[in-house]
Amino acid sequence: MRSGKALVAVLGMFILFYSCSKTGDRHGQMPPDTFLVYESINLSGDERLTSNVRLSWYGTDEDGYVVGFEVSLDNKSWNFTTTQDSKFNFDIPAGSDSADITFFVRAVDNDSLRDPDPAFLAVPIKNSPPTANFLQLEMPASVLGAATYEWNYDDPDGRETVTGAFIKINDGDWTPFSRNSQLFTVVPENPQQPGNQNALIYLGTENEPHVTVNGFKNNDSNTVYVKVIDQAEAESKPDTSQTLFFQQPTSDLLVVGGQSATVRNAYFSILDEVYPTYDYVDYSRGDRLPRFWDPTFKLTVQNYQKIFFFSGDDLLTNSATNQTGLLLGFAAPSIVEFTSNGGRVLISTRFNESHDLSAVNGVLAIDNLVQGPSPAENMRPDSILMPGTPDFPELKPQNFVFGINPFVPSPDASSFYAAQFNNHPQWPRNTIAAARTGSAGINEVLFNVELYRFNGEPDKLEDLFDKLLNDVFDR
């Protein structure tokens, strides 16, 4: 019996010793176990994973609970996490299109014990080339001095793996440029000079060029190309823009028209007499409006010293953006910047009490419309527009002009012309044109009437344009 008891005691001591030696913990605490969802990934060649891989894992603990995990790519340096899955963007050596990544994960329990045998997975990855593309928006076949392009890029391995972008025009050189803006505008370096030259690339709505690119042809057709490169030095296929004809500016005067051909021709007949060389852009329909007033219109007008802008009281819907508003409301911020940089502008338009004027009030030389004895006034052929100074002519309508709305000039502007209503002399204020003055003289004249209607004495209307464009705006 004693020998039997001794045998049992010996066996008990052996079992206790074996248990302690298996766990490696002198207190008998059990370390956790770790498991990867995938035990192996047997892929090769083109079937390898992209470098952007999502991995999942979990852990168990017999005598406690798992508080987190540690992950490593070399089984030496470990990073703690409480998540059980993550998306990894593995690096592929530059110049190589594939790599085998070693991934280790070990569970950590509530006693700070770590799995002594981490779970392991060999991850076969390959690099996928990035992509670059123009957003295929319908653009006019011809542009006047500036064209704005939208583009984008991506990478199956993650957009963040793209490290560089390049632009080329026609047969010019590939030039690095920023990928931080998906909007850029091409402007000739010497707008008035035709033929081969450099182009300036403006990013977003910036006022200073980002980079200079060769290969551009002014007053000719131009095609733009973009491509990107990723961290493994894989290049995207170049994408090709719509080919556009860049029209060369021919004058220091730009005419911006927002009305019908009949109105346009009435103004052309005046300009042909007093300022025969000018360029013209037609914004009379929604499908002709710039998708991006800033920067497209802003960079277009910077090629000029003077602008004559005419529009009516109709609202336009930009077919590219579905925004609806007054033409002058769309253009106002660029016009203000134009005059701030030394440009001069003559505006003939028609505001009425039904318009939302928030885009122009205080931005241009108008503060608000006058509240008179009636919503608007009419002018008979014997009424006149009276100048504020004797240097300018009185203007008479040829026929009745309906819907005249005097206005209050903005605080930094002054009355330039007043409407004489013979049938309603009791109107409290009758300013119908206001002028702003900058450091070099008058830089904005805003008429809230359609000037072509005031041709009762055509010579006087021509005289107004002549004095403004050839005298006041040249000072």
d(CA 302, CA 14): 93
Tell me the residue type at 120: F
Task: Note the pLDDT of residue 15.
Answer: 34
Task: Note the pLDDT of residue 126.
Answer: 73
Nearby residues of 17 by Cβ (< 8 Å), 6 or more positions away: none
Architecture of domain 253-474 in CATH?
3-Layer(aba) Sandwich (3.40)
Does 85 score more than 60 pLDDT?
Answer: yes
Task: Please state which CATH class domain 131-247 belongs to.
Answer: mainly beta
Q: Sorting pLDDT into bands at 50, 70 and 90, what band is 179?
A: very high
Q: pTM score, two decimals?
A: 0.76
Position with higher pLDDT, 351 vs 89: 351
Does 225 score more than 70 pLDDT?
Answer: yes
Q: Of the ranges 7-16, 136-145, 187-196, 208-217, which one carries the lowest mean pLDDT score?
A: 7-16
Tell me the residue type at 405: N
Task: Note the pLDDT of residue 367.
Answer: 93
Q: Which residues of 334-351 are buried (b: 16+ CB within 10 A; e: fewer)?
A: bbbebbeeebbbbbbbbb
Give the start-to-end residue ranges of the domains of the chain: 1-28, 31-126, 131-247, 253-474
Task: Note the pLDDT of residue 96.
Answer: 62
Q: Sorting pLDDT into bands at 50, 70 and 90, what band is 430?
A: confident
Task: Note the pLDDT of residue 425.
Answer: 55
Does 263 score more than 80 pLDDT?
Answer: yes
d(CA 217, CA 221): 7
- In degrees, rounded to 5, the angle at the alpha carbon of residue 268 between the alpha carbons of residues 264 and 271 is 140
Q: Of the ranges 27-41, 101-115, 205-219, which one carries the lowest mean pLDDT score?
A: 27-41
The arithmetic mean of pLDDT across residues 160-183, rounded, is 95
Q: Sorting pLDDT into bands at 50, 70 and 90, what band is 26?
A: very low
Quote the percentage of the chain above a pLDDT of 90: 68
The arithmetic mean of pLDDT across residues 428-449, rounded, is 90
Element (H, E) at 184: strand 183-188
Q: Sorting pLDDT into bands at 50, 70 and 90, what band is 88?
A: confident
Q: What is the pLDDT of residues 191-200, one digit of tens each?
A: 999 999 999 9
The arithmetic mean of pLDDT across residues 98-108, rounded, is 86
Position with higher pLDDT, 89 vs 111: 111
Q: Which of 348, 365, 344 is nearest to 471 (CA)?
A: 344
Q: What is the pLDDT of residues 303-355, one digit of tens each?
A: 999 999 999 999 999 988 999 999 999 999 999 999 999 999 999 999 988 88
The arithmetic mean of pLDDT across residues 289-304, rounded, is 95
Q: Sorting pLDDT into bands at 50, 70 and 90, what band is 249?
A: very high
Task: Give the mean pLDDT of the chain.
Answer: 87
Nearby residues of 268 by Cβ (< 8 Å), 6 or more positions away: none
DSSP structure string for 209-255: --EEEEEEEETEEE-EEEEEEETT-PBPPPEEPPPEEEEPP-SSEEE
Domain 31-126, classified CATH 3.40.50.620, yes or no = no
Quote the percentage of the chain above a pLDDT of 70: 87
Q: What is the pLDDT of residues 350-387, one digit of tens each?
A: 998 888 899 999 999 999 998 766 667 788 888 899 99
The arithmetic mean of pLDDT across residues 14-35, rounded, is 58
Task: Note the pLDDT of residue 161.
Answer: 84
Per the listing, tokens 């002709």 go with 288
Pairing of strands 224-230, 183-188: unpaired
Decide: 271 and 308 in contact? Cβ < 8 Å. Answer: yes
Nearby residues of 91 by Cβ (< 8 Å), 6 or more positions away: 51, 99, 231
Does 13 score more than 70 pLDDT?
Answer: no
Task: Note the pLDDT of residue 53.
Answer: 75
Task: Note the pLDDT of residue 38.
Answer: 66
Question: What is the separation of C-alpha 278 from the centre of its chain, rounded to a whole number of angstroms?
Answer: 30
d(CA 86, CA 393): 77
The arithmetic mean of pLDDT across residues 123-131, rounded, is 80
- Domain 31-126 identical in fold to domain 253-474: no
Does 165 score more than 90 pLDDT?
Answer: yes
